[in-house]
Amino acid sequence: MAGRRRVVFSSSKDLSPSDGATVFPRGNSLVSSLATGFSNVATALFATLFPEDCRLCGTPLTNISRLPVCCECLSSLSRIDGVLCSICGERLTVPYATSVEDGEAQCEMCRRAQPPYVQAAAYGSYESGLRELIHLLKYDRVRPAATVLGRMLAEAIGDLRVCFRSGPILMVPVPLHARKLRQRGFNQSELIARSALKILSAGSFQLNAHMLERQRETQSQIGLSRHQRRENMRGAFVVARSQEIVEREVLLVDDVMTTGTTVSECARVLRRAGACKVYVATVARTLKGETQNAKPQFEVEDALVMAAHG
Ligand SMILES: [Zn+2]
Ligand SMILES: [Zn+2]
């Protein structure tokens, strides 16, 4: 085993390592060898059915779980801390953070132009473990990841609920384009929303995954200016059932909020169709400080550009 602990299937929840004592009486070589055989088969079956290492940190897994991520990695996925913009949820830095009173702080962007949504809340920062967990669902199609991400989304929604006036809230996942949906086989935002609904009180929300449609595929937002991003998104979404949205409060849900252009465009379209208020909840969002920390090469590039321009 050499440092690797494997487990065998057990009817009890307390799983013991396969290199532990056999449950069959000693002395009976047939039973004993059958037991060893079963143990080997179970170990092999476990190794076949479940990846042997945590997909986030590479540590061998010791528990049977549909999600190939270790407990340490899961418990390290923490909430965003610090002072946040009361509208978009961006983390505020000095001097804005120091002038905050009663949680009504707003970032520079939101002060300049009010977003079409009331408030956006996210569970965590879109980096390291949480980013990998989202990629596990989206790109590696490890669907059980949606359960954990749904719990996080429910927590983010909990941050918003004080604002909700009347229920049930119409819960609308950001849609994928039909071609992408066929390619991936599922809309990750819808899966996460469904998991969140198992935790949230059922009567308070009404999921409608067909309210919004993505009628146009959009190019990657990377490298585009704020204005270009808005232009890129314009006309991408339509409200399919506008009669059901008039005077409703809508909760838009997505896996990630990066620049906010996608959720802003969805919120704009929903408002125009008659929604009285739109809230946004995502599992993760990019934070300015973290982006700079995560990509120091950008700073180097910026410095080079500045040097080139004298
Ligand atoms: Zn791990
Ligand atoms: Zn803001």
What are 22-34's pLDDT values in tens digits? 333 344 566 666 6
Which range has highest mean pLDDT (3-12, 29-38, 118-127, 217-226)? 118-127
Q: What is the pLDDT of residues 136-145, one digit of tens each?
A: 999 999 999 9
Question: For residue 77, is it within any domain?
Answer: no
My answer on whether 140 and 45 are in the same domain is: no
Mean per-residue pLDDT, 181-206: 93
Dump the DSSP string for the chain. -TT---B---SSSS--BTTS--SSPTT-HHHHHHHHHHHHHHHHHHHHHS-SB-TTT-PBP-S--SS---HHHHHT-PPP-S-B-TTT-PBP-TTTGGG--TT----HHHHHS--SSSEEEEEEESSHHHHHHHHHHHTS--TTHHHHHHHHHHHHHHHHGGG--SSPEEEEEPPPBHHHHHHHSS-HHHHHHHHHHHHS-GGGEEE-TTSEEE-S-----TT--HHHHHHHHTTSEEES-GGGTTT-EEEEEEEEESSSHHHHHHHHHHHHTT-SEEEEEEEEE--HHHHHHH-HHHHHHHHHHHHHT-
> Measured in angstroms, how far is the CA atom of residue 6 from the centroid of ligand 1?
15
36-40, 101-105, 253-257, 302-306, range with the lowest pLDDT = 302-306
- The number of domains in the chain is 2
Query: How many whole angstroms from 140 Cα to the centroid of ligand 1?
Result: 16
Residues 36 and 133 grouped into a single domain: no
- Domain assignment of residue 209, yes or no: yes
The answer to the question of residue 41 being in a domain is yes
131 and 226 share one domain: yes
Note whether 135 and 240 are same-domain residues.
yes
- Across the chain, what does the average pLDDT equal? 80
- Per-residue pLDDT tens over the stretch 268-307: 999 999 999 999 999 999 998 654 444 433 333 333 333 3
**Average pLDDT, stretch 111-130?**
96
Domain assignment of residue 187, yes or no: yes
Q: Ligand 2 (ion): which residues have CB within 5 A?
A: 85, 87-88, 90, 107, 110
Residues 40 and 157 in one domain: no
Same domain, residue pair 50 and 193: no
Residue 131 shares a structural domain with residue 265? yes
Least trusted range by pLDDT, from 26-40, 81-95, 221-235: 26-40
Distance 110 CA to ligand 2 centre (A): 4
Give the per-residue pLDDT at 36: 66
For 60, the domain range is 29-64
Position 155 pLDDT exceeds 60: yes
Q: What is the pLDDT of residue 102?
A: 57
Same domain, 59 and 126: no
Q: 264 with 192, same domain?
A: yes
User: What pLDDT does residue 2 have?
Assistant: 37
Percent of all residues in the chain with a pLDDT value above 70, rounded to a whole number: 72
54/152 same-domain check: no
Judge whether 16 lies within some domain.
no
Q: Is residue 57 located within the same domain as residue 129?
A: no
Q: How close is the Cα of 7 to the center of ligand 1, in Å? A: 17
Does some domain include residue 22?
no
Q: What is the CATH number of the domain that holds 218?
A: 3.40.50
Nearest ligand atom owner, CA of 136:
1
How many angstroms does the Cα of residue 68 sit away from the middle of ligand 1?
A: 8
**Residue 185 pLDDT exceeds 90:** yes
Model confidence band, residue 15 (pLDDT cutoffs 50, 70, 90): very low
> Looking at the domain assignment, is residue 262 inside a domain?
yes
Q: Is residue 137 one of the residues assigned to a domain?
A: yes
Looking at the structure, do residues 56 and 169 belong to the same domain, yes or no? no
Reported as a pLDDT band with limits 50, 70 and 90, residue 49 is low
